[in-house]
């Protein structure tokens, strides 16, 4: 009978160590797996914008000079009031309103797929942009670009049923517009995004992208929006359209 006491203790330790192992694995302990294998949520596939918010600022081009709900700095006002889409056209800057700071709010479709085991790729049909989310460490690119450099990490849910979120931080962007009518963000802007999935009726799925734009030049505080997308069964409605300065 005396052996039962250590047995109880061993049972407790076993249970505890098992839980710790699961806990550690959930938090990235143990050997690193490629991001594709470690994904707690599946973002791949075709998604379509469902524009129920900020309709007037996204589906049509707002009036020149309007910047409601964006915490712009005084330095931005000059740009806002002097917005000239023809000048952007002439300078080859038609994609200024399709950059990383705003592309997820542009109505259109996304195609999300793994480019390789540690790089998630998002293509947009509106403006035909490509974003690459790197899970592995990379040297920074030399020249800024519309979509900048994005580093990605999985954030695992603190629960037994799995799940989680994708966090993406983007910098090294070309200066662009938060809205089509010339509300600017600068090359010093940083875009932080969290991609979450929620279920919809009839096995549908919703992608929610909480987006925070910080810009020490043209914003007085973070600009935060959360556009969302519905999952589509395939790419049959994919319709690439080029960037436009006015539409």
Partner 1 sequence: MLINLVNSRASRLATRAPRFGRFIAESLIRNSCRTAVAVVLVLLTAGRASAQFDMLGSWAPLGSEDVQNDSVPVDYLGLALTDEARIRALSYDESQKSMVERQCAGWGASYMVLGPFGLRVTSQTDPVTNRVVSITIAAWEDWNEMVIWMDGRPRPSENALHTQAGFTVGRWEGGALAARTTHVKAGFIRKTGVPLTDRATIDWRFFRHGDIMTVLMVATDPVYLVEPEIVSKGFRLSRTPLDYRAGCVTGYEGREPGDSVPHYPPDQNPFVDEFVKLYHLPREAVLGYLETLYPEYRKKIKDTYVPPPPCTDSCGQAGNFVVRR
Q: Binding string, 47-86, against partner 1, x = CB under 8 A? A: -xxxxxxxxxx-xxxxxxxxxxxxxx--------------
- Min separation Cβ 22 and partner 1, Å: 10
Smallest CA-to-CA distance from 244 within 102, 79, 128 is with: 128
> Which member of 42, 113, 198, 240 binds partner 1 (CB under 8 A)?
198
Give the DSSP per-residue string, 134-183: E-S--PPPSS-BSS-EEEEEEEE-SSTT--EEEEEEEESBPPEEEETTTE
Q: How many residues bind partner 1 (CB under 8 A)?
A: 76
Closest CB 142 distance from partner 1, rounded Å: 29
Site residues for partner 1, window 205-234 (CB under 8 A)?
Answer: 206, 208, 210, 212, 216, 219-226, 228
Is 161 a binder of partner 1 (CB under 8 A)? yes
What three-state secondary structure class fits 233?
A: coil
Considering only 1, 7, 139, 140, the residue that binds partner 1 (CB under 8 A) is: 1
Sign of CA dihedral 207, 183, 131, 245: positive
Name the segment binding partner 1 (CB under 8 A); options: 28-36, 111-119, 127-135, 151-159. 151-159
Contact 33, 219 (CB under 8 A): no
Nearer to partner 1, 99 or 164 (CB): 164
24 binds partner 1, rule: CB under 8 A = no
CA angle 222/228/231 to nearest 5° reads: 150
Handedness of CA 120, 124, 127, 128 (dihedral sign): positive
Closer to partner 1 by CB, 33 or 56: give it. 56
Which residues within the stretch 85-104 sit at the binding site for partner 1 (CB under 8 A)?
none
**Closest alpha carbon to 208 in 200, 197, 199:** 197
41 is a contact residue toward partner 1 (CB under 8 A): yes
């Amino acid at each position: 009978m005396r052996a039962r006491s250590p047995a109880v203790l061993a049972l407790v330790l076993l249970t505890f160590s098992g839980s710790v192992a699961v806990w550690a694995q959930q938090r990235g302990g143990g050997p690193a797996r490629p991001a594709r294998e470690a994904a707690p949520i599946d973002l791949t596939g075709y998604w379509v914008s469902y524009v129920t918010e900020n309709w007037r600022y996204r589906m049509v081009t707002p009036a020149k000079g309007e910047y409601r709900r964006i915490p712009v700095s005084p330095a931005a006002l000059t740009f806002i009031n002097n917005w000239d889409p023809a000048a952007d056209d002439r300078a080859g800057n038609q994609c200024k309103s399709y950059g990383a700071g705003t592309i997820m709010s542009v109505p259109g479709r996304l195609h999300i797929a793994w480019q390789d085991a540690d790089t998630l790729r998002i293509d947009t049909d509106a403006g035909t942009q490509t974003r690459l989310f790197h899970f592995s460490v990379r040297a920074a690119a030399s020249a800024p670009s519309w979509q900048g450099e994005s580093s990605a990490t999985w954030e695992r849910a603190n629960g037994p049923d799995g799940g989680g979120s994708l966090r993406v931080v983007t910098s090294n962007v070309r200066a662009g517009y938060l809205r089509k009518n010339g509300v600017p963000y600068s090359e010093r802007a940083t875009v932080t995004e969290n991609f979450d999935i929620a279920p919809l009726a009839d096995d549908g799925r919703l992608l929610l992208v909480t987006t925070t734009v910080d810009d020490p030049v043209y914003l007085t505080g973070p600009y935060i929006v959360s556009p969302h997308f519905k999952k589509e069964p395939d790419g049959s409605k994919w319709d690439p359209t080029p960037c436009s300065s006015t539409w």
